[in-house]
Amino acid sequence: MIIHSDPILIASLAIPLIAAIIASFTGKRVSATLASASFLPIIAYSLYNIAIGADYLVPLGALPRPIGMIYLINDGLSNAFGFAIALISLTISIVSVPYMEHRFKVLGLPEQFNIYFLLFTLCGISMLWIVYAYNLILMYIGIEVSLIASFLLIYFYGYDGFGKTRQWIGTLYFIYTHIASVLFLVGAIVLALYANTMDLYTIKYIPPLAWALMLIGMLIKLPSFGPHVWLPWAHGMHPTPVAALIISVVGLSAYILARLYLSIAVLHSGL
């Protein structure tokens, strides 16, 4: 696979992060505008690269082993998911304003659009970093940020229901999804100790134990049938605009499994 620099991709992924930080110090209109506009670059970038069939790695630098090289990947799969996530984030950020105005009144809270759009944008950009990451530690960081941001959105602004408070429901979501992320991390560490790297470009084989831990973790997070007990609580009681984000957060488990499989399958195919 070709490796070369791509400052446009890096900038497109950095802009929403910068916007989230600035939004935390601003009011309703500015924070909403920043959140919406910050996803436009990655929408344009992903569409363009889908059209030209881009397929290469972008080096960000090297960390001590067993972490290894940190790459981003620009290919059809990452751009398709990146476009979908960015478009959803942009659209939902727009409809969030009237919805959250009403929600703040119902909760008896002063308008906290700065906090809401900080968490909202962090959730969106962390998912984009997961999609474009080609190193397991970068994927894990994205998973953690997306889970913590979505947990806080439920905890602060969700609904009470089924005899439970939004804080209880948010905590249930936090516990189950972090069991999943810890299993993924342990699996990644097992793989790193075996391969002496977390760089998917270098890894030639995934040991069964590492694969099993990461698979179980992502099946809990997805969630598959069985470890899905948290799903009705979380998806029934979160703020409506956050629904689309959380669906994307948990759905990225399937993307991660596909990316792990494809990274090895492409290697052994000789492509």
pLDDT tens digits for range 98-108: 999 999 999 99
Domain boundaries, the chain: 2-269
- Six-digit token pair at 139? 């994927």
70 forms beta bridges with 61
Per-residue pLDDT at 142 exceeds 60: yes
Q: How confident is the model at residue 270 (pLDDT cuts 50, 70, 90)?
A: very low
* pLDDT at residue 191 tops 90: yes
Q: Are strands 68-74 and 2-3 parallel, antiparallel or unpaired?
A: unpaired
* Residue among 120, 231, 128, 124 at smallest CA distance from 173: 231
- Mean pLDDT score of the chain: 90
Q: Which pLDDT band, with edges at 50, 70 and 90, does 221 fall under?
A: confident
pTM over 0.85: yes
